């Protein structure tokens, strides 16, 4: 018996000593060893409680919530491993453990405890379960979890007279608003059953690459920054961040191939099933590695940028996506210079009236603004920048000094007045990069679609993408070589082609009335060959006809000028 209790105590002490959540988020080598140790400890602890369950139950009064807490920690560990590796399969592992806790009601007696600590753990478990379910697009389950969380928050407040009830109610209101904002298009089967849409990259979405000579570039590191003050968010994820992290991941496998312990092992009795140790090899990742930064200071952003560049292999590309409110520039007409065009706010530190007046008077720059020039040092390696902001066009003269591939895709700086509410529900440009068909439907005020029509339209969007890629290669002599180089990578190819689709949609749509309403790129893409290609325009208009919204679009060659 002494050995049993001693082993359990040692395992719990080991868990406390490897607090993975406190490890630096940047750099691969700094945290992988610690995660490996933590996985090993959890494996031993889980097998230990299975092997000795009867002794622990009868002799030491092991409670159900204690088993649930171990399962919750394992689910949390898998979720954090997903955040650090970008491997969506680990989300399924996390989901399996969280689901088992709910189905087996491990926390059912939490409100019977004298102190509120266990009830708080239960509420935190629900918040984490909601995040994982959101990332796996389990919409119906999220709605159920929100209702249950609301019930348990009320129970928590009534039983313990808690004074943090407003914080928990804010969590509920945030996730409810998040769900509503993300539901732009409803697709129904003929039996009027809602279809759950997945927007991660599937194999049939990737236009085929033409053979290239030499070393192919590969997207390896991604930094996603979110700082739109009025945009809905949940758990430090703005809607733009949530969409882009999915757009830059492949659809996970049905059966996860890498496991610590499987959710089927979360059981009342021990079993003899062996758990597999997690892979820690340096094999090629199916997804690029991502950092998610919500309202970072510029100093924090610089640390992650430097780490991202450091981790790049020789043929690696880093992508920096910034979604934020605009910082206006101070340049006068004809006097544009370094740092004069403004940039994008990375975090909100509002200056007082006197401080703001002093900055205008002395021409001081905003220390919380990301300027194009701030990224120059990181363009020593291949770099792709996506800027979604009301001041995105400040990046149209991005300095390119080191001869490395460098492109910048910029959102429109204006949207039609009828669509300005969209800013709270996520940016229109990011929506096109996330799901071109959903964005197309949104600008055409289409909220409901039959599943057969959705599938037909998706095939048409793929045809447009394939033809856009063909046009790129056919007219490659007119296109800056960096675009051709970056088309080697599947994710970058998809982002560039969705950018093209976005441009065509906005240029042909009557509500978008000039160049400020169109996305831009650096280097510029040739208008006649790429952006105003008649065959592509015809296919976009064919998509509009399929959706019965042809009247919303110009005829070919009739739209406003591109510049």
Distance CA 509, CA 505 (A): 6
Confidence of residue 5 (pLDDT cuts 50, 70, 90): very low
Phi/psi-derived region of residue 18, left when phi > 0, alpha when psi is between -120 and 50, beta in every other case: beta
- Is the per-residue pLDDT at 172 higher than 90? yes
Q: Tell me the per-residue pLDDT of 385-420, one tens digit each, with 9 for 90 and over.
A: 999 999 999 998 877 788 899 999 999 999 998 887
- Is the per-residue pLDDT at 264 higher than 60? no
What dihedral do alpha carbons 89, 91, 94, 95 form, nearest 10°? -110
Alpha helices by DSSP H, 185-295:
239-247
Q: Tell me the per-residue pLDDT of 272-322, one tens digit each, with 9 for 90 and over.
A: 333 333 443 334 457 899 999 999 999 999 999 999 999 899 899 999 999
pLDDT value of residue 180? 87
| Contacting residues for 66 by C-beta, under 8 A, at least 6 apart | none
In the predicted model, what is the mean pLDDT of the chain?
A: 83
> Between the CA of residue 18 and those of 13, 28, 30, 516, what are the distances in Å?
9, 16, 13, 51
Stretch among 75-79, 213-217, 241-245, 302-306 having the lowest mean pLDDT: 213-217
What percentage of the chain exceeds 70 in pLDDT? 82
pLDDT value of residue 8? 46
Instruction: Please report the sign of the dihedral spanned by the C-alpha atoms of residue 388, residue 393, residue 396, residue 397.
Output: negative
Distance CA 352, CA 358 (A): 10
- Is the per-residue pLDDT at 45 higher than 90? no
Confidence of residue 374 (pLDDT cuts 50, 70, 90): very high
Confidence of residue 271 (pLDDT cuts 50, 70, 90): very low
pLDDT value of residue 152? 94
Q: Specify whether the CB–CB gap between 47 and 249 falls below 8 A.
A: no
Stretch among 269-278, 352-361, 430-439, 491-500 having the lowest mean pLDDT: 269-278
Q: What is the mean pLDDT of residues 186-203?
A: 85
Stretch among 154-168, 260-274, 332-346 having the lowest mean pLDDT: 260-274
Confidence of residue 458 (pLDDT cuts 50, 70, 90): very high
Alpha helices by DSSP H, 409-533:
428-434, 436-443, 451-474, 481-486, 490-508
Classify 491 as helix, strand or coil.
helix
Residue 26, token pair as written in the block: 């940047």
- Is the per-residue pLDDT at 529 higher than 60? yes
Distance CA 144, CA 153 (A): 14
Q: What is the mean pLDDT of residues 254-278?
A: 41
Confidence of residue 203 (pLDDT cuts 50, 70, 90): confident
Distance CA 489, CA 474 (A): 19
Q: Tell me the per-residue pLDDT of 461-503, one tens digit each, with 9 for 90 and over.
A: 999 999 999 999 999 899 999 999 999 899 999 999 999 999 9
Residue 18, token pair as written in the block: 């490897």
pLDDT value of residue 31? 64
Q: Which string of DSSP letters, residue by residue, matches 149-163? A: HHHHHHHHHHHH--S
**8-state DSSP, 266:** -
Q: Specify whether the CB–CB gap between 246 and 200 falls below 8 A.
A: yes
Classify 415 as helix, strand or coil.
coil
Distance CA 104, CA 68 (A): 9
- Sheet arrangement for strand 342-345: 326-328, 342-345, 369-370
Stretch among 109-123, 367-381, 413-427, 439-453 having the lowest mean pLDDT: 413-427
Confidence of residue 563 (pLDDT cuts 50, 70, 90): low
Nearest alpha-carbon partner for 498 in 516, 521, 478: 521
Q: Quote the distance between the C-alpha of residue 206 and its chain's center.
A: 19
Stretch among 38-52, 178-192, 316-330 having the lowest mean pLDDT: 38-52
Q: CA gyration radius for the chain? A: 26
Which long-range contacts (C-beta less than 8 Å, at least 24 apart) are formed by 199-202?
199/137, 199/243, 199/246, 199/247, 199/434, 199/435, 199/438, 200/88, 200/246, 200/247, 200/249, 200/250, 200/251, 200/252, 201/247, 201/248, 201/249, 201/250, 201/251, 201/490, 201/491, 201/494, 202/250, 202/251
Stretch among 373-382, 420-429, 460-469 having the lowest mean pLDDT: 420-429
Confidence of residue 211 (pLDDT cuts 50, 70, 90): low
Nearest alpha-carbon partner for 453 in 195, 182, 183, 202: 195
pLDDT value of residue 268? 42
């Amino acid at each position: 018996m002494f050995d049993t209790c001693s082993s359990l105590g040692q395992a719990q002490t080991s868990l406390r000593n490897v607090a993975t959540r406190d490890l630096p988020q940047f750099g691969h080598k700094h945290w992988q060893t610690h995660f490996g140790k933590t996985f090993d400890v959890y494996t031993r602890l889980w097998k230990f409680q299975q092997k000795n369950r009867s002794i622990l139950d009868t002799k030491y009064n092991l409670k159900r919530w204690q088993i649930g807490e171990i399962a919750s920690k394992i689910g949390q560990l898998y979720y954090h491993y997903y955040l650090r590796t970008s491997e969506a399969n680990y989300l399924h592992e996390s989901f399996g453990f969280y689901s088992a806790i709910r189905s087996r009601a491990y926390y059912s007696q939490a409100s019977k405890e004298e102190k509120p600590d266990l009830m708080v753990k239960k509420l935190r478990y629900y918040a984490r379960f909601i995040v994982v379910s959101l990332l796996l697009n389990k919409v119906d389950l999220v709605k159920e979890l929100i209702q249950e969380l609301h019930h348990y928050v009320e129970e928590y407040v009534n039983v313990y007279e808690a004074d943090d009830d407003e914080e928990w109610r804010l969590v509920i209101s945030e996730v409810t608003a998040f769900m509503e904002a993300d539901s732009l298009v409803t697709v129904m089967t003929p039996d009027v059953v809602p279809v759950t849409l997945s927007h991660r990259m599937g194999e049939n979405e990737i236009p085929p690459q033409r053979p290239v000579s030499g070393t192919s570039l590969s997207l390896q590191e991604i930094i996603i920054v979110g700082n739109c003050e009025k945009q809905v968010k949940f758990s430090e994820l703005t809607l733009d961040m949530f969409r882009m992290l999915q757009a830059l991941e492949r659809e996970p496998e049905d059966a996860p191939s890498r496991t610590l312990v499987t959710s089927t092992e979360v059981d009342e009795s021990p079993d003899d099933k062996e758990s597999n140790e997690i892979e820690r090899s340096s094999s090629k990742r199916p997804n690029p590695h991502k950092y998610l930064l919500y309202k970072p200071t510029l100093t924090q952003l610089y640390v992650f940028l430097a780490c991202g560049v450091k981790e790049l292999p020789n043929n690696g590309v880093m992508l920096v996506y910034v979604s934020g409110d605009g910082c206006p520039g101070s340049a006068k007409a004809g006097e544009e210079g370094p740092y004069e065009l403004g940039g994008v706010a990375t975090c909100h530190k509002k200056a007082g009236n006197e401080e703001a007046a002093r900055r205008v008077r002395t021409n001081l720059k905003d220390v919380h603004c990301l300027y194009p020039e701030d990224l120059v040092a990181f363009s020593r390696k291949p770099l792709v920048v996506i800027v979604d902001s009301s001041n995105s066009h400040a990046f149209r003269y991005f300095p390119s000094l080191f001869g490395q591939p460098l492109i910048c895709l910029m959102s429109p700086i204006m949207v039609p007045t009828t669509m300005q509410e969209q800013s709270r529900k996520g940016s229109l440009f990011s929506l096109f990069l996330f799901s071109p068909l959903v964005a197309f439907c949104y600008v055409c005020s289409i909220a409901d679609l039959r599943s057969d029509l959705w599938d037909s339209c998706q095939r048409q969007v793929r045809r447009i993408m394939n033809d856009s890629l063909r046009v790129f290669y056919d007219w490659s002599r007119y296109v800056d070589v960096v675009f051709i180089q970056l088309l080697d990578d599947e994710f970058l190819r998809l982002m560039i082609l969705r950018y093209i689709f976005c441009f065509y949609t906005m240029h042909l749509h009557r509500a978008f009335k000039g160049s400020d309403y169109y996305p831009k790129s650096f280097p510029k893409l040739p208008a006649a060959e790429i952006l105003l290609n008649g065959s592509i325009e015809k296919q976009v208009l064919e998509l509009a006809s399929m959706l019965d919204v042809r009247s919303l679009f110009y005829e070919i060659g009739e739209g406003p000028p591109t510049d």
